[in-house]
Amino acid sequence: GLQRSLLDGGLVDELQSEITERRRTWNIFNTLVSFLL
């Protein structure tokens, strides 16, 4: 039903923001490492 799809959409948004955050952290980490090396 509607409630179910709303729940799924919320989960997807949560996942996407989590992935974006990790990617950003990973990019910063890689930049630091390559800078130090």
| Run means of pLDDT, 10 residues per run, the chain, 37 residues | 72 90 97 93
Residue 16, token pair as written in the block: 């996407």
The pLDDT value recorded for residue 1 is 62
How far apart (Å, rounded) are the C-alpha atoms in residues 12 and 19?
10
How far apart (Å, rounded) are the C-alpha atoms in residues 15 and 25?
15
- Cα distances from 16 to residues 1, 6, 33, in angstroms, run 23, 15, 25
| C-alpha triplet 5, 10, 13: angle, nearest 5° | 125
Q: Where are the domains of the chain?
A: 1-37
Residue 28, token pair as written in the block: 């910063």
The pTM of the full predicted model, rounded to 2 decimals, is: 0.57
